[in-house]
Amino acid sequence: MKQEPLKDKYRSFKQIVNTFYNEEINNIGAEEETALKNIGTIKIEPKIIYDKFSGDMKVEFKIGTNKMYKIKDLSEFYTRIIEKSFYKYGEKLQFIHTQEMFENESKPLLDFILKYAEVIKYANSNSNSNYRYYGKALSDTSIILGNTGVDDLFEVLKGQKVLFQKDYNIEEIELTEEEPKIEFKLRKIGEEKYSITPNIEIFNVTIIKGKNHKYILDDKKMYRVTKDFENTNLRLLELFRQNYLTEVLLGKDELTQLFSIVIPKVKNAIKIENIPEEEIKNYRPQELQVKVYLDFNENDYLTARVEFQYGQNKFNPLDEKLKIDFPRNVIQETKALNIFRKTGFMFDSQNLRFILPNNDKIYEFLVEDINFYMQKFEIMVTDRFKNKQIIQPKIGGIGVKVENDLLSIDLKNVNINAKELKDIMEKYELKKKYYRLKDGSFITLKDNKQIDFLDKLVTGMDINYKELESGEVKLPISRSLYLNTLLKEMKGSEISKNSEYREIINKLDKDQLQEELKVPENLETVLRYYQKTGFKWLKTLDSYKFGGILADDMGLRKNNSNVVNYCGLCGK
């Protein structure tokens, strides 16, 4: 059999290669040409669809340049962007899916689509693996807007006009942060009869709830309302809607409650029409002023007597037996009294005042809460209150001297009762925030350098608290270095040191060793410089009968045989 020529043997394979190669080249050319033509020009158009019966809202999208194409599969669209793949929607739109292809105005909306399309893609892929479900968990054609989705979409589209479909009607609406013109009118409709009516048809607007905001939708705009509007105008509108009311009637006797409870709550939501000021001034409360009188009782409990004042009218709001015949702002009164309850005050019914018996709460009040109270109320205090404040312990001066081979520390200039010092330090060791002195005042213990100094002095030198009561402490001279370390941290206190103590400290400073201290001749040529420094250090300590150790981190190589042998021979 005649053998086929080698050049014809792989003809079929070459044909396959050429086919794929030519197609790839043609595609590359088309993709590159499309990419150059469409870069930065593709826009996204959303359409919001609202179902008034279910209250559901969803959004679908079109993309394109001139002719717009609906995104039919959001999961696939997400994949194309992630993989930067080429896709043809129609004769007028084919491009490589990169973010650079989209116009700048559409990029925030693109990010929104990708965020929610990813959820759709993986929710649907996971649902297919569960035998209890058939089909897809979420629609691929649109994004269903939950509470968070409404907030996110509004943030992207605020200030823009978008297509909105409701009741099968499609029109453009604007997403705006303006406040809607919704208010209520109080009018006189008879001799002693009044009415409150809204200025709109209450069911002609739709209220939509987001996670962090509420929205009002009418035929032209979707409003994102402020918290203030939500708690006033919108709250009143919802009450009308819940009760299917278009008008609320009230008599002359109800005006007091209207002005003392309702209007203070809804602020400017209710406008007054055709009612003279002279007629309603007897029902509108004057500005509330709150005075608080602070004191301490015989048990050192903090007391607060409260006085409310409207013009010339003054009264104790805790006295339920009082009969008051003038208008009051009940909302503001309640808020004021709630501040006392939140602080921890209890009602003292016998004396018609508030009382704070807990030391922790009293301390917090004196440190923090009183500043808030001074902003809200007019505060009056007694001399007894002034004398039971937060005391900052201060060590005004410390004297240190050496006499009879002992250190003498003068601590008489300390503004702390020495007899209470033991109890104070025990609280400090327990990491307590404060200590309450026997006179009812408080000492702050946390981050207190003065108390920290006394604690280190007592615990580090084994001082008896009885010694501190006398104001003078005697210590071995060997404690000089430790004491000097503590004194360095005492900023703001006057420290006096006699000449003998200063001399000891100077000599013990290894950077200021006496030049006249000589190394023995037999070691002068053997020891290195840092070893000589170690020798002088030990000799200086020995001259004051101190003990000493050459530690590794001093850099003096204490394990050198020459130094060890010498110290062993001389007993130093």
Using the predicted structure, report yes or no on whether residue 5 has a pLDDT greater than 80.
no
Query: Which band of pLDDT confidence, cut at 50, 70 and 90, is reported for residue 134?
Result: very low
Domain that holds residue 148: 39-166
Is 410 inside any structural domain? Answer: yes
In this structure, are 532 and 547 located in the same domain?
yes
Same domain membership, residue 200 and residue 153 = no
In a domain, 3, yes or no: no
Final residue in a domain of this structure, among 242, 260, 280:
280
Residues 263 and 319 both lie in one domain: no
Return the pLDDT at 132. 38
CA distance 538 to 531: 11
Whether residues 203 and 308 share a domain: the answer is no
Do 550 and 486 belong together in one domain? Answer: no
- Angle separating helix axes 107-127 and 74-83, nearest 10 degrees: 110
pLDDT-derived band at 416 (thresholds 50, 70, 90) equals confident
Given pLDDT bands bounded at 50, 70 and 90, which one contains residue 300? very high
pLDDT in tens, 223-248: 999 999 999 999 999 999 999 999 99
Listing DSSP states for 80-103 in one string gives HHHHT-EEEEETTEEEE--GGGB-
Sign of torsion, CA 313 316 317 322?
Answer: negative
If one compares 83 and 395, the residue with the highest pLDDT of the two is 83
* pLDDT tens string 19-75: 766 655 555 555 555 555 668 899 999 999 999 888 899 999 999 998 999 999 999
Does residue 411 lie within any of the structural domains? Answer: yes
Same domain, 300 and 357: yes
Same domain as 129, residue 51 = yes
What's the token pair of residue 427? 């609280």
pLDDT digits (tens, 9 = 90+) for 318-356: 998 988 888 899 889 999 999 999 999 999 999 999 999
φ/ψ region of 233 (left if φ > 0, alpha if ψ in -120 to 50, else beta) reads alpha
24 within a domain of the structure (yes/no)? no
**383 within domain boundaries:** no
From 322, 346, 375, give the residue that closes a domain: 375
Residue 4 within a domain: no
Same domain for 274 and 187: yes
Angstrom distance (rounded) from CA 55 to CA 178: 23
Do 349 and 430 belong together in one domain? no
Do residue 397 and residue 459 come from a single domain? yes
| Cβ-Cβ contacts under 8 Å for 435 (sequence gap 6 or more) | 420, 423, 424, 427, 428, 442, 443, 445
Mean pLDDT across the chain = 84
pLDDT at 512 over 60: no
Residue 384 in any domain: the answer is no
Same domain, 355 and 395: no
Task: From 261, 280, 299, give the residue that closes a domain.
Answer: 280
If asked whether residues 154 and 48 sit together in one domain, one would say yes
- Split into its structural domains, the chain has a count of 5
Question: For residue 361, is it within any domain?
Answer: yes
Predicted confidence band at 489 (pLDDT cuts at 50, 70, 90)?
confident
Q: Could you report the per-residue pLDDT of 141-170, keeping only the tens digit for each?
A: 999 999 999 999 999 999 999 999 988 899
